[in-house]
Each structure stands twice: as structure tokens, then as C-alpha cells.
Structure 1
């Protein structure tokens, strides 16, 4: 039987003489293991990303409360209208209200300043000494703060 299309490759003989040594195999396997060792770290980073976002949200809440405390202390009058906190100071009306997934601040019903993001629910409860803010974010963390007004010649409307 005759074989057609039999072609002998000359470079195969040279390659077989060199071969693939055990040292090369160990080197390649060690590189593979080093690369595979980074997979659990990257998965941990992806999983902890949401935890990082929750921590950032907690810090944003603290900044928001500090700004609101200052504004409540400086206000002359405070109104609580259907999940909207209205502060009157120096003839200006400053309102804090939920807008989509944010809390926004408006002065004289103009502007749109986002003061807190990723809000699920927010409630303002008027108290005789100020206001209680109860807030729940999209990560199911609930925060609350009591903000006190300086009651010297200040009016209070629940």
C-alpha cells in the first residue's frame, strides 16, 4: 500500500531532540499556580465592594446629620410637612425632602442640592426640642438622629 500525501517535516526532528524538560514544566506550573492564587483575593474584593459601599453610605449619613444640625440650630422656625422638613431662617425657607433615591435641599423652593444618596425611606418627627430624623438606606441600615433647636425666641410648629 502506498501512502500519498506523506510529507516529512524536517523541523520535527530538531524539536524532538530538544524536548520539553521537567524544569520547563515546573516553571510553567508555578506561574499557573501564582495566577490561580489571585482568584480568591479578587472574589473577596468583589464581595466586599458592597460592604465598602455600605460603609461609605454610613459616612455620608454622618456628614448629612452634621450639616442638618447646624441648619436646625440656626433656624428660627421649623415645620414638618408630609416627609418634608422645612426650616425658616433669615426670611428664607429651606426644605429637605426625598427626591427619587436622594434627599435634596432646596432654598425658597428653588435649586436642587443633593445632600444624601441611596435613600430608601426617611421620616422627620417633630419633637418639642427639635426634630428626630429616621433614615433607612438601600443597604437596609437604619440610622436616626435627634437634632435640637435653640429655643430662645424660636417658634415650633409640629
Structure 2
């Protein structure tokens, strides 16, 4: 069991509520208790294991994995001519396990982006969101924590 946990370098489980459902979604709410039926957009080396865990990276160097909610969320709502912004909260449970105990491990970022295409991004300091030619551009429309 310890070997399996060490090989899973970066796990992330999203919990938006404590409702015990495998997957729940309405217009602006979703909940994942395991990712087997989550209908996520996976990119790079990300994969979902049979036990429902989402693995974003593995023991490979300089690789990127991503998982996005497949359907766009509307962060601005209009009602009676007034526009308001969507308020949201989220909780994450994840593990970052470095290959070598005394060196840094993988990073992780929660990102809100107009695109799910991160094929030309780099790992390391860019966290799979940017690369050396687009980092710092005024036109980047990504919110990441």
C-alpha cells in the first residue's frame, strides 16, 4: 500500500459539499466524491484510477497533467438589468509526494480559465499554466491559486 501511495505523486480530490453522492451537478454546483463518473476534461498525463483517485502527475520529469470541469461556468449573472458576479467556495484534499524526500515535489494550482487547452505549457515554475513566451502577458485571462 505504501508503494502505491508513493507512486501517486499528486492526488487531488475536490469536495464542494458533504453530500454523499458520487457526482452531483446543477447549473452552478458540482460535487465529486471520487472521479470515476466525473466527466472531466483530462490533459497531459492526468488519469483517473479505478479507485476514483485523480492523478495529475507521475514519476516523469517535466510533465504536466490537468483536469477541468468539462462544462463552462458562468461567473457573471444578469437579473433585471443588473450584473452580479458568482460567489463560490471549494475545498481540496490532495497529496504532493516528492521523488526525493529532501527535495521539492510537484506543484498544484486551482485555475479558472477561458480555455482547457494547456498543451503548450511548461511544468516547473509555470505550474502547467504558462510557458516562457506567454508568462506575464497582459492578455492572460487566468485566475490561479
- TM interval, shorter chain, is under 0.3
Give me the TM-score of the superposition, normalised by structure 1: 0.20
Which has the larger Rg?
1
Higher strand share: 1
- TM-score between both structures, scaled by the size of structure 2: 0.21
